[in-house]
Amino acid sequence: MASNGGLNPESDDFENRPNFCIGQHDSNRFETLSDDQYRQFNFVTTPITNQHFFRRVVDLYKCHLAEREQWRQDRGLTSSQLSNQSLPAPIVPTLTNKDTSYAPSSYVGSLVAYASPWIDLCSSNPLISSISRQVLNLEVAYANFCGARSIIIPGPREDEDSRGIALYARAIQEALQVTTRANLIIHMPMYREPGLDEKAEMLSSLFADANGAEACAVKEIDLFTAWDSWHTIRSVCKYSTQLFVALRIPRRLPEKDLQDRWFAEPLHYLSIGPKTFQPNRAGHPTLTPNHQQLINHYMRLKNAPWLILCDVGPSLEDLNEAQDHLATDFPSLAEASNALKENRRPQQPPQNPYAGYMRYLERHQAPFSAMETPTLTSFQDWLQSPLQPLSDNLESATYEMFEGDPVKYDQYELAITEAMAEWKVLKKPTSQAPSNSDLIVAVAGAGRGPLVTRVLRAAEATGTAIQLWALEKNQNAYVYLLSKNEREWGGRVTVVKTDMREWQGPALKGYTAFFSKVDILVTELLGSFGDNELSPECLDGIQRHISRPHGISIPHSYTAHLSPIATPRIFADLSSRSHGDPQAFETPWVTRLHAIDFVSQKVPRHGRFQQAWEFVHPVEVSRADEFAEEEGTRFISPGGGSMTGSSGTNDHNARHCHLTFVCRTRGVTHGLAGYFESVLYAPQAAGKEPVEISILPDQIDRKSKDMVSWFPIFFPLKQPLYFPQDAELEVSMWRQTDDTKVWYEWMVEVYAWVGPETRIKVGASELHSSRKIACLM
Amino acid sequence: MASNGGLNPESDDFENRPNFCIGQHDSNRFETLSDDQYRQFNFVTTPITNQHFFRRVVDLYKCHLAEREQWRQDRGLTSSQLSNQSLPAPIVPTLTNKDTSYAPSSYVGSLVAYASPWIDLCSSNPLISSISRQVLNLEVAYANFCGARSIIIPGPREDEDSRGIALYARAIQEALQVTTRANLIIHMPMYREPGLDEKAEMLSSLFADANGAEACAVKEIDLFTAWDSWHTIRSVCKYSTQLFVALRIPRRLPEKDLQDRWFAEPLHYLSIGPKTFQPNRAGHPTLTPNHQQLINHYMRLKNAPWLILCDVGPSLEDLNEAQDHLATDFPSLAEASNALKENRRPQQPPQNPYAGYMRYLERHQAPFSAMETPTLTSFQDWLQSPLQPLSDNLESATYEMFEGDPVKYDQYELAITEAMAEWKVLKKPTSQAPSNSDLIVAVAGAGRGPLVTRVLRAAEATGTAIQLWALEKNQNAYVYLLSKNEREWGGRVTVVKTDMREWQGPALKGYTAFFSKVDILVTELLGSFGDNELSPECLDGIQRHISRPHGISIPHSYTAHLSPIATPRIFADLSSRSHGDPQAFETPWVTRLHAIDFVSQKVPRHGRFQQAWEFVHPVEVSRADEFAEEEGTRFISPGGGSMTGSSGTNDHNARHCHLTFVCRTRGVTHGLAGYFESVLYAPQAAGKEPVEISILPDQIDRKSKDMVSWFPIFFPLKQPLYFPQDAELEVSMWRQTDDTKVWYEWMVEVYAWVGPETRIKVGASELHSSRKIACLM
């Protein structure tokens, strides 16, 4: 294994897999570490306050209870009478230097602040929840003052009910008001694993007594309650971009659905306790293959989460003993902090067996694939404004990027080759006079000519005599095409500068005013959703030049597909954009969706990805204007059109679909992921497969593996739409058009099955529309 | 009965009940009426297009079908292959003068345009829905051009499914784009009454054939499907203020819940068909007492709906016959139109027996009560910005308005009288030296002195010797008080200009620097939600002057109450305000709620109105500062406080509640109605009732009937929150405070019972907060 450079940290390609940033948390730690302790971690947690502060707060509380009781007895009141009085809760005194050993320091970047686990923000006892809020505010404010970048706050307690969560969430929202630079990270379990509560609970018993210990009946585990709590917290905090999750990896992994759910959430840390590790034969800690897979999966996030090993030693005593001889060998926390800042790895040989095992996992990750280059990764979940394909002229670099995808052009070449070969075999007549039987091929929207090259190659491969036309409206690309025709294509191409919709057709040889027809029309006008860059309208405008009945359009047809997804990060991004951009939630965004969760299931009658609609070319029936004539009046203008004020000339390119998606577990959706597939050419010969391209997640590998030309499209929802278990999401989607523009509209309704026969409506989104930013025809 | 002036249209007080504006609709009418037809109605409906247009559209459709079929056969395609092609739907030709007899005219104000009932916007056949949309757009645009103020559109057909409704709603949204001045009114049944479809369906059979008639199985009636459809339509139309309902009154009235549901919707018309009337013994048409009650109820809306009598004759033939001798006696439509514009009643003796009966009902309505004056009615559902009670100085007229409520001050006087009487009976010592046993009374925030007068009266009535202090911070009101003391109170009052929180207490007679205590403190600081105008904070600031233990605060205590409501009109109002006022949905609005529906039920464990919290005065424990001391440090500032940056000095006036409201039927809530009750004085003697005031709808008549000083408060939700049947709304509400401000926060979560033991979450609102417009202390 040592011979494999990829696994050797010293080798050149070592960096081609995700880095692990490994830290340590000790729930028995009550004082901040000094710089030279814990040298073998990238970072360590630090408590914000110490035992002195804890005792002060407990004393304050006990003292207050005693006073209240005395006061109640003096007045002969019952307890409930007492609670109706506006009795002030005790006010937690401000921190002093006795209450904390945490302070601004050179190594503050390697210290992750950990808020006191003994508070209970959810408590139904107003005194306890009030004291807890005060403690949290004091600690967060102090940690922020000290320069903490991350403050971890223990999640709500196990036995919280829905009321408690609202209180917890509200307290976090308040704490976010003081964190000018620090992020708040809620430490949540992946699910509430029975019998695995961590030490955090220890000190709360003092409070539990006063609170009247709540009944802790053994219940069936509901896997999604922890996620539910998190969802409430971040919803109340309005998807703050300063709010993250530290996810506790459980000993027993839950179903895939729940793992995927958390994948989409803003994971800042993964925390792993000693019980999650299992000893191998030699007694060293290891993780199960499933755990390894989970961690490898999460590590592929654009911002890979950091790892926190909890209570895995070494203990402070061990350390103090070892300190002397460690001091020279390994970097101090300050050195680690600098390394983190510069995003490089400090030299840290694994001392701790748990950390050592994690480093082993780090080395054994699969290297980054061709689809995981830094450039492609940087596009993950990054929102691109949609193009105005007909009014924007592209720059050369943009063309170059599009041309850099061999998969797409290989498929085009294959389609053109098949079409030409079949044309010959079937002995179809060309649109030319019999005396000249060259096949006439046109590439419309030729750009810098990649499809022209492919057409020429296909003609050579099939030995087809062709006349080739290249149309381009971009005057700058036109220059490039002319030069390419001289340099590379040997003048075999007729380059025309024109909007394809205004072209007069291929002029007959020797004529300028007599025209033939096109046998094969090749275009690449497709968008992420198939028709979203006006391919149907452009092809409408040129299809009169296609010869009938044999003329071919490549692509032959394309379909648009949808799937509802959860994507909290994109929702947070859009929420912050929406202040400046009122159309943010009405825009179909092109984005390389990655940290998402497909919320629906594939079930017998409904897929996870469902087809919205299809376009087939050429359209066989001519324009609708013919219908508009009537006896008595010479010509009556079409007056209708589904859109007001339009005359309906593009109505045949309008579409509507209504799709039902099935969700088994409860969750939330933030919008619809859109994809497309296209049949470039469908051979007529029996048994021949169509030549296709696809960006559908479940089809791309089969139909056009590693094709990167298109990212998916995302239709957002203004409000996250919650749905209960056994729900159905009813998606209504429109491709709308008046005579001059094309846009989309979408709406989602939620229904829940509450019995074998009964389905009730439980919610709906607004009707969204991109009309205001419509594509201009 | 003729002797009763109130029922005589000629008498002076006749106007003191709602006017009926009565119109007529004939579903067999295909041409617009001329000015002098139908003289006995305030308005009539007119079709926008005629039979000629209808036949043209049907021909267009048939012709298109035939062409499609021919085309399909020519190519040997199956029907499903056909539907994948982008075949253009036919374009409906624009209107010509042959297609309509409707035109701009002097009497256009008396014509209500009625869109063609033979279209089907919901059709699952894309050809039919496309043609229908085109027809609707043409008709609405033309009616708008002609000057129509109202365009009625037949509601979605009975057999529509949820998909169809989305199409219908989207088409209406589109139609709203052309109506620059006209309102669109959707003609909806109150519920889908089996066997009572109106004639509108007649012509659709042509379409139904082509469509493949859908199975119309007999199902159990679901009373709320019609409301559901309406809710979807107006939600898709984003609560447009140009969108209204014409509500068809059914033959058999449904349960009260549904009647109340529609009461809250924007009712523009009530339509009544002949089947809803029942002949009395003499054969004349009448309505059941329940129907009468319903109409009387709806007529109390601020904008009373107009009545449309459908298909109740006279027929056109009858009319043409009668036209000659009618012509001179009754106003023409143009005259009626002018009368409508000027909001006066044209002279219209009832000719039509149905119209005559409605006029009879009009005369027999209960006259407007004292609570239905034009001023009070104008406040219905009108949003008032909340006061800044401590920083705004009121004007005299505002005081005058507040003083004009005898009920409130009578209750105060009663409370003060009871307190003084009981003081004597119980022989409580006053706070004075025994040598001077005058009771010391202070009115804090005396305004223009109404409570001062009441205190003096109570002292006289009980023969109590008092020293009376009146405190007022408003320097202008102070002048008024001084003058009133001279003129009316005989100098018996010591008037002090001070913020009550800064008052030094009642000076001992003959001293300026020695102070006594107050025995009875009287204040009127309550807001609509009890504590929302900072009564707790003000009383905190003055309560140190109340003598202990016998001193009394009037009011003694107050409670805040909540109930979730549907109020589409206020939601629409806030939606349009929110463009200019980003805090519109975060503001607790004072408003005289009227056109609302209480969505929750009173059930054994949960009321329709539930108490949020209580304040009791004086607060018995002094400020929390005492807790803040500690050994070792001389004085440690309080540091906590539930709000960041606050030191928690007002935390004892923070409150939180979590309430569960039960909803039986499905519906939507737009926010929380807030109310208060107050115990002004609670006698200690057994068997004596407390003196109370209340604005709770189910208590006000018992506790303080006709008290008008406070309207309810409304806590809006940004997004209407839909809930299914058997739902529970969990309301979390906070009264939040830092050291300087007080504000509210609220959130609603929806749960549904889906089995005897299973409750699932189905949705939640955002957390709303009025922090940005908080009351300054």
Is A533 one of the annotated active-site residues of the chain? yes
Task: Give the pLDDT of residue B218.
Answer: 43
Contacts of A96 in chain B (CB under 8 A): 633, 636
Is B500 annotated as contributing to ligand binding? yes
Task: Give the pLDDT of residue A527.
Answer: 93
Task: Give the pLDDT of residue B301.
Answer: 93
Q: What is the rounded average pLDDT of the residues A472-494?
A: 94
Query: CA–CA separation, A47 vs A51, rounded Å?
Result: 10
Whose CA is closest to B265, among B1, B567, B62, B637? B567
pLDDT in tens, B582-594: 999 999 999 999 9
Contact B641 A91 (CB under 8 A): yes
pLDDT, greater one: A509 or A362: A362
ipTM score here? 0.84
Q: What is the rounded average pLDDT of the residues A127-134?
A: 90
Burial of A473-510, coded b for 16+ CB within 10 Å and e otherwise, reads bbeebbebbeebbeeebeeebebbeebbbebebbeeee
Task: Name the band, by pLDDT with cuts 50, 70 and 90, for residue B6.
Answer: very low
pLDDT, greater one: B164 or A510: B164
Q: What is the rounded average pLDDT of the residues A424-447?
A: 85
Task: Give the pLDDT of residue A6.
Answer: 43
Task: Give the pLDDT of residue B433.
Answer: 67
What element of type H or E holds B564? strand B557-566
Task: Name the band, by pLDDT with cuts 50, 70 and 90, for residue B670.
Answer: very high
Task: Name the band, by pLDDT with cuts 50, 70 and 90, for residue B453.
Answer: very high
Of the candidates A162, A640, A747, the beta carbon closest to that of B92 is on A640
Inform me whether the C-beta atom of residue B78 falls under 8 Å from chain A C-beta atoms. no
Instruction: Name B478's Cβ contacts closer than 8 Å, sequence gap at least 6.
Output: B472, B495, B497
Task: Give the pLDDT of residue B758.
Answer: 85
pLDDT in tens, B95-117: 999 999 999 988 888 899 999 99
Q: Which one of A40-49, A307-316, A378-387 scores highest in mean pLDDT?
A: A40-49
Q: What is the rounded average pLDDT of the residues A713-730?
A: 96
Task: Give the pLDDT of residue B1.
Answer: 36
By residue count, chain A amounts to 777
Contact A170 B133 (CB under 8 A): no
Task: Give the pLDDT of residue B692.
Answer: 97
Q: Give yes or no for residue B776 having a pLDDT over 90.
A: no
Task: Give the pLDDT of residue B132.
Answer: 93
Is A524 one of the annotated active-site residues of the chain? yes
Chain A nearest C-alpha distance from B237 (Å) = 8
Contact A88 B652 (CB under 8 A): yes
Tell me the residue type at A218.
Answer: V
End-to-end CA distance of chain B: 59
Query: CA–CA separation, B108 vs B142, rounded Å?
Result: 13
Q: What is the rounded average pLDDT of the residues B264-288?
A: 93
**Cβ-contact A133, A168 below 8 angstroms:** no
What is the percent of chain B with per-residue pLDDT over 70, rounded to a whole number?
A: 83
Distances (CA, A) of B551 to B99, B170, B501, B542, B545: 83, 65, 17, 12, 9
Q: Give yes or no for residue B339 having a pLDDT over 80.
A: no
pLDDT in tens, A518-539: 999 999 999 999 999 999 999 9
Chain B interface disruption, residue of A129, A134, A238, A631, most B CBs within 10 A: A134
pLDDT in tens, A213-245: 343 444 567 899 999 999 999 999 999 999 999
Average pLDDT over chain A, rounded to whole? 85
Q: Give yes or no for residue A624 having a pLDDT over 80.
A: no
Task: Give the pLDDT of residue B83.
Answer: 63
Look at A244-258, A387-401, B136-150 and tell me which has the smallest mean pLDDT: A387-401
Work out the number of other CB atoms within 10 angstroms of the CB of residue A259. Answer: 18
Look at A12-16, A376-380, A470-474, A697-701 and tell me which has the smallest mean pLDDT: A12-16
Work out the number of other CB atoms within 10 angstroms of the CB of residue B106. Answer: 13
Task: Give the pLDDT of residue B201.
Answer: 40
Q: Give yes or no for residue A86 having a pLDDT over 70.
A: no
Distance of CA B363 to the CA centre of its chain: 26
Chain B nearest C-alpha distance from A414 (Å) = 25
Q: Which one of A2-16, A377-391, A749-763 scores highest in mean pLDDT?
A: A749-763
Q: Render A638-687 in DSSP notation, one character per residue.
A: B---SSTT---TTGGG-EEEEEEEEESS-EEEEEEEEEEEEEEE--SSTT
Of the candidates B94, B170, B730, the beta carbon closest to that of A767 is on B170
**R_g (Cα) of chain B, nearest Å:** 33
Work out the number of other CB atoms within 10 angstroms of the CB of residue B685. Answer: 10
Q: What is the rounded average pLDDT of the residues B207-213?
A: 42
Look at A709-713, B87-91, B496-500 and tell me which has the smallest mean pLDDT: B87-91
**Cβ-contact B589, B374 below 8 angstroms:** no
Chain B interface disruption, residue of A62, A749, A753, A762, most B CBs within 10 A: A762
Task: Name the band, by pLDDT with cuts 50, 70 and 90, for residue B238.
Answer: very high
Q: What is the rounded average pLDDT of the residues A65-74?
A: 82
**Cβ-contact A599, A566 below 8 angstroms:** yes
Contacts of B235 in chain A (CB under 8 A): 764, 766-767
Contact B761 A724 (CB under 8 A): yes
Q: Give yes or no for residue A202 having a pLDDT over 50.
A: no
Phi-psi region of A211 (alpha: psi -120 to 50; beta: other; left: phi over 0): alpha
Contact A133 B732 (CB under 8 A): no
Q: What would the two tokens of residue A458 be?
A: 């296909």
Task: Give the pLDDT of residue A162.
Answer: 67
Contact map slice: A 110-149 vs B, CB within 8 A: 126, 130-131, 133-135, 137-138, 140-141
What is the percent of chain A with per-residue pLDDT over 90, rounded to a whole number?
A: 57
Look at A404-418, A643-657, B610-624 and tell me which has the smallest mean pLDDT: B610-624
Query: CA–CA separation, A763 vs A669, rounded Å?
Result: 12
Contacts of A644 in chain B (CB under 8 A): 137, 140-141, 174-175, 177-178
Inform me whether the C-beta atom of residue B97 falls under 8 Å from chain A C-beta atoms. no
Q: Give yes or no for residue B195 having a pLDDT over 80.
A: no
Chain A interface disruption, residue of B65, B82, B91, B242, most A CBs within 10 A: B91
Q: Which one of A729-743, B419-433, B434-448, B501-515 scores highest in mean pLDDT?
A: A729-743
Q: Give yes or no for residue B15 having a pLDDT over 80.
A: no
pLDDT, greater one: B38 or B514: B514
Contact B91 A134 (CB under 8 A): no
Contact A235 B92 (CB under 8 A): no
Q: Of these residues, B139, B160, B524, B677, which one is catalytic?
A: B524
Task: Give the pLDDT of residue A157.
Answer: 83
Task: Give the pLDDT of residue A365.
Answer: 93
Chain B nearest C-alpha distance from A188 (Å) = 20
Task: Give the pLDDT of residue B357.
Answer: 93
Chain B nearest C-alpha distance from A121 (Å) = 11
Task: Give the pLDDT of residue A309.
Answer: 95
**A289-298 and A353-363 are packed helices; what angle lies between their axes, rounded to 10 degrees?**
70
Chain A nearest C-alpha distance from B498 (Å) = 26
Contacts of B666 in chain A (CB under 8 A): 760-761
Distance of CA A549 to the CA centre of its chain: 45
Average pLDDT over chain B, rounded to whole? 85
Q: Please report where in the chains the tokens 């999966």 appear, as a residue.
A: A297
By CB atoms closer than 10 A (0-12, 13-18, 19+), residue B704 is buried
Q: Give yes or no for residue B86 having a pLDDT over 60.
A: no
Q: For every residue of A416-468, which 3-state class applies, written as one string?
A: HHHHHHHHHHCCCCCCCCCCCCCEEEEEECCCCCHHHHHHHHHHHHHCCCEEE
Work out the number of other CB atoms within 10 angstroms of the CB of residue A177. Answer: 14
Q: Give yes or no for residue A632 having a pLDDT over 50.
A: no
Q: Give yes or no for residue B327 having a pLDDT over 90.
A: no
Task: Name the band, by pLDDT with cuts 50, 70 and 90, for residue B561.
Answer: very high
**Cβ-contact B759, B753 below 8 angstroms:** yes
Q: What is the rounded average pLDDT of the residues B496-502?
A: 92
What element of type H or E holds B729? strand B727-737
End-to-end CA distance of chain A: 59
Q: Which one of A34-38, A743-747, B72-76, B548-552 scores highest in mean pLDDT?
A: A743-747
Q: Of these residues, A524, A537, A677, A692, which one is catalytic?
A: A524
Q: Of these residues, A139, A335, A418, A533, which one is catalytic?
A: A533
Q: What is the rounded average pLDDT of the residues B338-354?
A: 65
Task: Name the band, by pLDDT with cuts 50, 70 and 90, for residue B451.
Answer: very high
Q: What would the two tokens of residue A340 be?
A: 């983190």
Q: Give yes or no for residue A77 having a pLDDT over 90.
A: no
Contacts of B64 in chain A (CB under 8 A): 627
Task: Name the band, by pLDDT with cuts 50, 70 and 90, for residue A560.
Answer: very high
**Cβ-contact A307, A269 below 8 angstroms:** yes
Chain A interface disruption, residue of B86, B531, B718, B726, most A CBs within 10 A: B86
Task: Give the pLDDT of residue B636.
Answer: 42
